[in-house]
């Protein structure tokens, strides 16, 4: 038996520990592991190679992915999926572990229904926006990168009596911004999941400024598309000098945290065990209510990810 692993879509810290676990688990069970390089594009182009212990030696501390990743428009055309399948056939590969997000899982679902291929998806995105799972690989490292940046930004914000508006990634999901706002002690949190009230925020902050507040830290999720508006609000309404800091892609990199390394180990181990079953699979492993479970891709796609209500309640005070 041969099993392959691939990364698809955006990268995140934690992928390399997952890749290392995959190779070691395979060899411990007398299975030949394969790497699919460059994601779906590499699958089409036949960038598939046998993995060795040497390939994964000393990679746990490295961010990103040693087998690289990509996004692919070609994979949505039948002729290229056929080409991808022929490449797998040449290597005798019938089972794949996919580190990616919902778009990657949908692509592999189409692929597995057309051809004799099983896959298990491991949710791997700093956005933490995949339905059915409370946690995606890479989130903890990203939050720690943001935390470090916010701690340093607060230092300069307090020195100059400024308002800093910090934009976090997350597409249309405000999870990174919400958790970062709560854990950094931010004064304002603007995310797609919460209705915010600038008039109420103004009244609250004016009172705090009169009582001695000299600086403000506001966290804004990129999905709100209003970072500049929030900075203008501080300048125009509160008469406080403001600066914008877009954290950008530093949130995807960095030394994987202990938690992400452990989650990578557990995600891959459970995924591998599931793939060893003698049946066709198109499942995604999920971590829900502190338990690992498996979700059919169609079930996953029928639901929209929602941040836990209790977390939204905690952050609501920062949005009004």
CATH code at 80? 3.40.50.450
> Domain for residue 78, yes or no?
yes
pLDDT (average), residues 10-31 = 97
Q: Which residues of 219-230 are buried (b: 16+ CB within 10 A; e: fewer)?
A: bbbbbbebbeeb
Instruction: Give the pLDDT confidence score for residue 35 in this predicted structure.
Output: 98
Q: Are residues 20 and 110 in the same domain?
A: yes
Mean pLDDT of the chain: 96
Model confidence band, residue 299 (pLDDT cutoffs 50, 70, 90): confident
Q: Nearest 5°: phi and psi at 296?
A: -65, 140
Is residue 316 in a domain?
no
190 and 283 share a domain?
A: no
320 found inside a domain: no
pLDDT band at 278 (very low <50, low <70, confident <90, very high): confident
pLDDT of residue 1: 83
What is the reported pLDDT for 75?
97
Identify whether residues 11 and 133 lie together within a single domain: yes
d(CA 137, CA 126): 7
- Which of the four pLDDT bands, split at 50, 70 and 90, describes residue 29? very high
Q: Residue 298: is its pLDDT beyond 90?
A: no
Q: Residue 241 belongs to what domain range? A: 140-253
- Of the candidates 216, 233, 253, which is a domain's last residue? 253
State how far the alpha carbon of 156 is from the alpha carbons of 80, 233, 234, in Å.
52, 20, 17
Q: Does some domain include residue 103?
A: yes
Q: Which of 95, 98, 9, 23 is nearest to 59 (CA)?
A: 23
| Residues taking part in catalysis | 127
- The pair of three-digit structure tokens given for residue 176, joined into one six-digit string: 């990174």
Asked if residue 20 has pLDDT above 90, the reply is yes
5 vs 36: CA distance, rounded Å: 6
- In a shared domain, residues 123 and 266: yes
Q: What is the reported pTM?
A: 0.95
* Predicted local distance difference test score (pLDDT) of residue 153: 96
Torsion of CA 97, 102, 103, 108, to 10 degrees: 30
Residue that terminates a domain, selected from 192, 227, 253? 253
If asked whether residues 9 and 113 sit together in one domain, one would say yes
Task: Pick the closest to residue 138 from 249, 42, 296, 52 (CA basis).
Answer: 249
In a domain, 312, yes or no: no
């Amino acid at each position: 038996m041969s099993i392959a692993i691939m990364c698809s879509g955006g990268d995140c810290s934690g992928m390399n520990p997952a890749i290392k676990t995959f190779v070691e688990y395979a060899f411990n069970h007398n299975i030949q592991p394969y790497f699919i390089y460059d994601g779906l594009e590499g699958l089409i182009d036949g960038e598939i190679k046998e993995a060795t212990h040497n390939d994964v030696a000393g990679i746990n501390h490295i961010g990103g992915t040693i087998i690289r990743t990509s996004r692919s428009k070609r994979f949505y055309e039948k002729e290229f999926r056929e080409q991808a399948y022929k490449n797998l056939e040449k290597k005798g590969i019938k089972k794949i572990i996919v580190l990616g997000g919902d778009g990657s899982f949908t692509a592999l679902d189409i692929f597995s229904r057309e051809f004799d291929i099983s896959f298990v998806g491991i949710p791997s995105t700093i956005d933490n926006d995949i339905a059915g799972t409370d946690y995606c690989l890479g989130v903890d490292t990203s939050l720690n990168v943001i935390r470090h940046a916010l701690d340093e930004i607060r230092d300069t914000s307090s020195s100059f009596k400024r308002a800093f508006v910090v934009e976090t990634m997350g597409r249309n999901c405000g999870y990174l911004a919400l958790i970062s706002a709560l854990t950094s002690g931010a004064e304002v949190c603007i995310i797609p999941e919460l209705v915010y009230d600038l008039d109420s925020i103004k009244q609250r902050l004016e009172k705090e400024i009169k009582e001695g507040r000299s600086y403000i830290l506001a966290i804004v999720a990129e999905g709100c598309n209003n970072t500049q508006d929030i900075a203008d609000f501080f300048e125009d309404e509160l008469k406080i000098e403001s600066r914008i800091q877009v954290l950008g892609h530093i949130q995807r990199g960095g030394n994987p945290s202990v938690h992400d390394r452990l989650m990578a180990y557990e995600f891959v181990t459970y995924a591998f065990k599931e793939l060893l079953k003698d049946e066709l699979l198109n499942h995604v492993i999920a971590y829900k209510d502190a338990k690992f479970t498996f979700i059919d891709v169609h079930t996953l796609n029928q639901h929209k990810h929602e941040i836990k209500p209790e977390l939204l309640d905690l952050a609501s005070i920062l949005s009004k």
